[in-house]
């Protein structure tokens, strides 16, 4: 899943980024996407929570078709600018050439926060904005990127829960 969406989804229904341990686990699970995270990164919990808040408010405004909150946009742009990046061509015999963004080495915290901020910027500022949704399943309400135009649930589990809830609502009538 996209890093920015993934970060915002840690907020609800249960906030899983409330401790250094929670952040360490989240980063470890995303090692492939975000790169290895040193132990010192777990101490940056307030910065990750602040970025999450900015992304969450930006996504919420985009979902509602409201003007984007200027302070949140400024925070995303600042996080992106903190680790200057440039495209690099990666040759792969198996999958064909791809492009990655390499960053000037400015420290792991700034680099990972910049990568997450850029993913939010790319979503809200590009065609993926149309795929941004809020899950309609009971007790979810988390954002996700829809794979199909008619997708309203973020996962199979949410779809099943919503169907069961609907079934009981009907049966109770
Ligand atoms: Zn869901």
Percent over 90 (pLDDT), the chain: 72
43 pLDDT band (50/70/90 cuts)? Answer: confident
Q: Taking the model in full, what pTM does it have?
A: 0.88
Instruction: State in Å: Cα 21 to ligand 1 middle.
Output: 24
Is 149 within the bounds of a domain? no
Is 116 within the bounds of a domain? yes
Is 163 within the bounds of a domain? no
Which pLDDT belongs to residue 168? 86
Largest Cα–Cα separation, the chain: 62
Is 135 within the bounds of a domain? no
Domain count, the chain: 1
Is 73 within the bounds of a domain? yes
Which pLDDT belongs to residue 92? 85
Is 113 within the bounds of a domain? yes
Which pLDDT belongs to residue 42? 82
Is 161 within the bounds of a domain? no
Instruction: State in Å: Cα 155 to ligand 1 middle.
Output: 6
Is 41 within the bounds of a domain? yes
Which pLDDT belongs to residue 64? 95
Q: Above 70 in pLDDT, residue 56?
A: yes
- Nearest CA-CA partner of 129 in 3, 5, 33: 5
Domain residues for 62? 3-128
Instruction: State in Å: Cα 56 to ligand 1 middle.
Output: 16
Instruction: State in Å: Cα 161 to ligand 1 middle.
Output: 9
Instruction: State in Å: Cα 136 to ligand 1 middle.
Output: 7
């Amino acid at each position: 899943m996209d890093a920015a969406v993934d970060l915002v989804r840690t907020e609800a229904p249960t906030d899983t980024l409330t401790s250094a341990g929670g952040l360490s686990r989240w980063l470890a699970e995303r090692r492939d996407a975000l790169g290895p995270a040193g132990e010192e990164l777990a101490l940056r919990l307030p910065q990750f929570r602040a970025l999450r808040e900015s992304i969450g408010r930006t996504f919420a405004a985009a979902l509602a078709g409201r003007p984007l909150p200027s302070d949140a946009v400024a925070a995303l742009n600042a996080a992106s600018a903190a680790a200057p990046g440039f495209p690099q061509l990666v040759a792969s015999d198996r999958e064909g050439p791809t492009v990655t963004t390499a960053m000037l080495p400015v420290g792991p915290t700034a680099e990972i926060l910049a990568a997450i901020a850029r993913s939010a910027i790319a979503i809200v500022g590009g065609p993926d904005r149309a795929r941004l949704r809020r899950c309609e399943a009971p007790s979810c309400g988390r954002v996700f990127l829809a794979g199909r135009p008619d997708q309203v649930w973020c996962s199979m589990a949410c779809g099943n829960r919503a169907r069961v809830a609907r079934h009981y609502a009907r049966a109770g009538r």
